[in-house]
Every structure is written in C-alpha cells, then in structure tokens.
Amino acid sequence: MRKFRIATALALAGVLALTGCTVGTQDVDTTSAEGEVRGTLTFQTWNLRATYRDYFEGLIADFEKKYPGTHVKWVDQPAEGYADKISADAAGGTLPDVVNVSPDLVAPLAKARLALDLDSAAPRYRDEYLPSAWRSSRIPGMKGTYAFPWYLNTGPLFYNKRLFRQAGLDPEDPPRTYGELFDDALRMARRSKGRVATLASVPTIEDFGRYGVRLMNRSGTAFTFDEPKGVELLERYKKLYEAGALDAQAFTSTPEQAGRKFMQQSVAMNPGSALDLDKFKKEAPRLYENIGITDAPDNTGRPNMYVQGLMVNAAGRNKATAVAFAHFVTNARNQMAFAHQTTVFPSTRGALETEYFTKQDGTDRTRVRVATAASLEKAVNYTPVLMSDDMKTALQNAVTRAVRGDEPPGKALGSAAKECNRLLEMG
C-alpha cells in the first residue's frame, strides 16, 4: 500500500518475449468463461497478507459459503520482484487463476493471450464500475477489457498556506492549472529570493498527460509525448529551475527526501496521504497548522488515477469460478468493506457518493479521504499501459537533460520518444 503510487512492472513485456511464454497459448479462448461455479482456484495478491490477512480470509470464507463446492487457495507475493514472479508463472504455465495486476502488468499478459477479455466473457458486470476504471485495463490496438477494476487512488497535493501568504498569494485558492502553478511558483521564488521552491520533483509521464500532451497515437503503436505541447511543458519547467522555483535536488530526490523538504518548509507543495497528516501533526506542528489540501494541477479537468485490478487467467481450467470470484472481490459491498480498512477507494459506481466519502467528521483521515474521493469520479489513468520501466527511465533522463539545460527540450524529448518506440517495437 505504501508504495502504491510508484509500484510498476519491471519490464514484464520484455521478459515474456524472452521466455517465449506465448508458446501454447494461441488456442486459448480469451472471450468466454462458461461453466458451473465450483471447484478449486488460486488467487494471488500483491503484498497484502501482512496487513489485511483477516479481511481476505473472511472474504474467501464468504465466497465459499455463497458457492458450495468451491475452494480458494490464496497466495500473496512480496512487492519485490512481483513482475518477475508473474512472468515466470506465465512462462511455466503456472499462472494463478485470479491475479492482482496493475494496468501495465496486464498489458503483456493480454498480448500473450493469457488474460480473459471481460467485455466478451463477462459484459454483464461492466456497468457496476466507474467507466474510467473499467477502461483502465484496455490495451491500445486490442479489443477488450482485461481485468476487473479493484481499488483506486489519487494522491492529494498538500500545500503550505503560510508560504503562499508570504508570497502574496491567496492561501485559499491554490493553483488548479499548470499555467497557474507556474505563475505562482515563479512569484514565490521571487518573493523568497530563491529560498522557497514550490516543487521538489521533475515532471513524469503523468504530468505530461495532465498538461494535455498526447502521449501515444490512437493505435498504440508509437509514443507522441515529444509533440510541441510536451516540449512546452519542459521549457516551462526549465524556467522554474532557473528561477529557483524547482528545488535544486529535484533530479535525484526520492519521495521521502521531497517530503522532508516540505516538512522543513523549504518546498511549498508536495503530494502525500492521510498518514502524512499524522506525521505533520507530531513532527512539524507549525506546518500542520497551515496545511492546505488540493488536487494536483491539470489542464484537462481530469486528475490522475492509480488502479489495481484482478485479471482472470484465460488459460485456467476453472474460468467460470475465477470470474465469479474476481467479481465477488470487486463488487460494491466488498470494495467498500476493504476501503474502510485502508486508504484506498472503491472502483464501483456510486460508492464515492456515500457519506463515508463525502461527510466530514473533523478528523485528519476524513479530511484527506473526502478531498481525494471528490476527484476520483473524474480521474483517469494517464500512464500508458504499454509504457515499461525502461521507457520511463528514457523519459526521465530526457527530462533531466532538458530541465537542467544540458540539451534543448525538443531534442531531448525527441530522443526519448525514439527510444521508447524502439523498445515498443521490440516488445
């Protein structure tokens, strides 16, 4: 859970290609899951047993009671090496029946004909979920949806109202668009004579998406983030860096290091969670007294959304039971129960409109929960499902060269897009 915002695949597509896991899967029926709901299946989660064991054991017991004759074997894998474990199982024909995946993990499995297409096999469930969440596991260039949406998140953005006031900015009106963000950041840098930066990290692929950059072509065959709007984004970040509005260590800073600078009040804005508010209250009471909560700026009207899903193994021997179980785990009742134990949010329609996600009770956790839930109704997953870690590294390196002034933004982005397209063709 703690790594939810940054956990991604470790180039699973490349591993699948090298191991030749598609051998023997060409005849798999990825479009139907007929049969009786009974028998044994294996359910795999991603680093959840230590904290949520009681919840999942109760969930499984409820399913087995509802469907007599079923048995669910639950396995939980550590976060470290999770993608490698999936690729090894895919190659060896031992992939579990129901697998916890993020969109970037499901993409290579869908291409290898190992992920069941729910649009064809279980279309009756589609309308139970937020449309943007259901679409999150669709793969460019392929028809279908390849995982049930499960839990969602979008990071709230904290800001320091005291620093905003000192810069002559309205502390009750934080920046909503990138234009407002850049203007406010430059003003804060000037007023503080470079002592206060507004941001502590350089833009990622999500920022390009929120800025309004077209990230890939419609067919999903090429990355296009080097278009003029993408170059414009980096040119504006370069100006922030030169003015001291972007922290000097932004190119190498970890989320933890950025968080410390925010707590030290040398950075005015930083993403976080409800757990951070508890930390501010104990370790930085002056910051806590002046904390503001907002959404990350965007030019699209749609915040970014992080998604976890449940994929049904199309090559499994008990697909009917696997579909029933994946739907059971992700139905409205069970997602709401899980949300009450975690800091994540359900992907089912109407859930975010309940009192739990809309009514304040004076506590910090509720304060963040309500603010975050309000943005998820309109949120989308900006990170392309076909973007591997190697591709993200190529983009990150280009961003660093451009913002630091080592290379013109257009040239740097063009090189990154070329490398990402080369890797895409190899996959």
Tell me, yes or no, whether 2 lies in a domain. Answer: no
Is this model's pTM higher than 0.85 or not?
yes
The pLDDT of residue 16: 46
Q: Are residues 79 and 171 in the same domain?
A: no
Tell me, yes or no, whether 4 lies in a domain. Answer: no
Q: Are residues 161 and 283 in the same domain?
A: yes
Tell me, yes or no, whether 1 lies in a domain. Answer: no
Q: Are residues 292 and 214 in the same domain?
A: yes
Rounded to whole angstroms, the Cα distance separating 8 from 94 reads: 22
Is 8 a residue whose pLDDT tops 90? no
Rounded to whole angstroms, the Cα distance separating 380 from 339 reads: 19
Q: Are residues 331 and 288 in the same domain?
A: no
Write out the residue range of the structural domain in which residue 164 sits.
157-302+384-426
Q: Are residues 172 and 293 in the same domain?
A: yes
Q: Are residues 346 and 403 in the same domain?
A: no
CATH number, domain of 38, equals 3.40.190.10
Contact 349, 127 (CB under 8 A): yes
Q: Are residues 333 and 239 in the same domain?
A: no
Tell me, yes or no, whether 7 lies in a domain. Answer: no
Tell me, yes or no, whether 101 lies in a domain. Answer: yes
* E strands in 104-177: 148-153, 157-160
Tell me, yes or no, whether 180 lies in a domain. Answer: yes
Q: How many domains, the chain?
A: 2
Rounded to whole angstroms, the Cα distance separating 162 from 167 reads: 9
DSSP state string for 323-334: HHHHHHHHSHHH
DSSP state string for 332-392: HHHHHHHHTTSS-EE-BTTGGGSHHHH---S-HHHHHHHHHHHHHTT-B--S-TT--HHHH
Q: Are residues 138 and 177 in the same domain?
A: no
Q: Are residues 327 and 241 in the same domain?
A: no
Rounded to whole angstroms, the Cα distance separating 375 from 363 reads: 19
Contact 382, 304 (CB under 8 A): yes
pLDDT bucket at 343, cuts 50 / 70 / 90:
confident
Q: Are residues 390 and 366 in the same domain?
A: no
Query: Mind listing the pLDDT tens digit for each residue in 237-249?
Result: 999 999 999 999 9
Is 217 a residue whose pLDDT tops 70? yes
Q: Are residues 138 and 42 in the same domain?
A: yes
Query: Mind listing the pLDDT tens digit for each residue in 84-137?
Result: 999 999 999 999 999 999 999 999 999 999 999 999 999 999 999 999 999 999
